[in-house]
Amino acid sequence: MKETLASQQIEAILSANWESFKMWQGQNRATRTFDMSQSAAQVFIPRRILELSEDPKNVHALLSESSPHSIGVVIFERFNKLVEERKGQMATEVSNSQATPEILDNNIFLIGGLLKAGKLTFNDRVFIHYRAKILDGYNGATFTINYMDRKEFQRKGIGGSFYQRLETVLRELEFKYLIGNVISPHPEFFERQRIRYRNLPDDIKSELPLDLDTQFFPHNKVMVKVL
pTM above 0.75, yes or no: yes
Q: Kind and range of the H or E element at 8?
A: helix 2-28
The model's confidence at residue 122, banded by pLDDT at 50, 70 and 90, is confident
Local structure of 29: helix, strand or coil: coil
Q: Is the pLDDT confidence value at 56 over 60? A: yes
Mean pLDDT of the chain: 82
Task: Name the 3-class secondary structure at 136.
Answer: coil
Domain residue extents for the chain: 2-133+148-156
Residue 65's φ and ψ, nearest 5 degrees, are -160, 150
Amino acid 109: pLDDT: 53
| Distance, CA of 174 to CA of 168 (rounded, Å) | 10
What is the Cα–Cα distance from 178 to 185, expressed in whole angstroms?
Answer: 20
* Host H or E run for residue 215: helix 212-216
| Residue 140 contacts residue 175 (beta carbons within 8 Å) | yes
Residue type present at position 172: E
Which amino acid is it at 75? Answer: I
Residues 137-151 pLDDT 10s: 899 999 999 898 887
Instruction: Evaluate if residue 216 carries a pLDDT over 70.
Output: no
Cβ-in-10-Å burial (0-12, 13-18, 19+) of 156 comes to middle
